[in-house]
Chains A and B, each alone.
Chain A
């Protein structure tokens, strides 16, 4: 299982998409490729932008539409982070359904 402490890389407020992209490319996608579980831990974060979360999870959802929801978990999300993650997850699924 891979665990990523997002704050360590993105700071207290997640807005830098380059950081999100790096986590996606270096951790999330390789783990999903190997059917490994991933925990994205937002401990200590006050918020995130939709762009940040999109850069983090949209491609993994697109590439692994079933595996993503089984293998990736979100931990220690405050209500704002949770809502933004749900915004992205909802619109990604909406767009993938024919």
Chain B
């Protein structure tokens, strides 16, 4: 659950780079797909033979088994049941190494989640952008780790995408020089900031718009969006239902958010997204709002760079 994700991150211990112990605390653990892909990405990094999952988590343990986490661990799953197809309400953790893997994963996603086709566009969109970001910018040989979960009761779809690549600060440092991980997070969420160019329109292949748009889709459906890289985490907080259409800001710090620094240093990038599918029925209207805000944001930023004449 992204609402408690700060707590999850604050309790991490990443000091041992050679092994990973997935410790569950009694009956409760954070099983948001973002937490699971994070564990799988770290497990891949240290090697399956160095990963242990403790077995005290009750029903949550069964869930992490179904989500495939034991596949990245030397611990044998204590759960015995007949595995049926991954159909229904979740997509277990998968590793994506190429753009063809990405296309296949995205095509398979909707039938796996048993969602109606009209809900598919926003899901394709978000997964397409987040996975592609990893493949292009993370420089990780392990690619992207992805998982999804649908909660019918709240009609919320949750995604997690994680890599153990260079992280946002390094990825943006060539052209934008963020002074620390917090500034790197801020830049990554602004429109027209790409790690491949100084120009606001990017290069022929990159524009620096993907995370900005995904974050705003979460915002407009009044849900959480979390991004963690290096020692910093930004979390978009929920907007009140009474606000008919939350205003889009170009600076992520102008949104309702929490920002945490001095977390355990994570070499990579983790993104967690919740989307309320009730509010995505008119996906195009959401994108129309983003269209207006995007150009406005670029125009304002450009104007801020203009030198002012002196009137004396």
Pairwise interchain contact B132-A17, C-beta atoms closer than 8 A:
yes
Segment from B54-62, B146-154, B287-295 that makes contact with A: B287-295
Pairwise interchain contact A58-B201, C-beta atoms closer than 8 A:
yes
Main secondary structure of the interface of B (DSSP, over half): helix
CA distance A11 to B298 in the complex (A): 31
Residues of A with C-beta under 8 A to B201: 58, 62, 91-92, 94-96
Pairwise interchain contact A50-B288, C-beta atoms closer than 8 A:
no
CA distance A34 to B74 in the complex (A): 60
The answer to whether B30 has its CB under 8 Å from any CB of chain A is no
The answer to whether A70 has its CB under 8 Å from any CB of chain B is no
B136, B204, B284: the one within 8 Å of A58 (CB): B204
Main secondary structure of the interface of A (DSSP, over half): helix
Residues of A with C-beta under 8 A to B106: 13, 15
Residue of A nearest to B191 (CB): A91
Segment from B10-18, B39-47, B205-213, B252-260 that makes contact with A: B205-213
The number of chain A residues with a CB under 8 A from chain B is 32
The answer to whether B281 has its CB under 8 Å from any CB of chain A is no
Given contacts A58-B202, A79-B284, are A16 and B294 in contact (CB under 8 A)? no
Pairwise interchain contact A51-B129, C-beta atoms closer than 8 A:
yes
Q: Mark each residue of chain A from 40 to 66: 1 if its CB lies under 8 Å from any CB of chain B, else 0.
A: 000000110111101100110010000
Pairwise interchain contact A17-B207, C-beta atoms closer than 8 A:
no
The answer to whether B231 has its CB under 8 Å from any CB of chain A is no
Given contacts A50-B210, A54-B206, A91-B192, are A13 and B128 in contact (CB under 8 A)? yes
Given contacts A16-B99, A54-B209, A58-B207, are A11 and B107 in contact (CB under 8 A)? yes
CA distance A90 to B201 in the complex (A): 10
B120, B129, B298: the one within 8 Å of A94 (CB): B298
Pairwise interchain contact A50-B213, C-beta atoms closer than 8 A:
yes
Q: Mark each residue of chain A from 73 to 89: 1 if its CB lies under 8 Å from any CB of chain B, else 0.
A: 00000011001101110
The answer to whether B75 has its CB under 8 Å from any CB of chain A is no
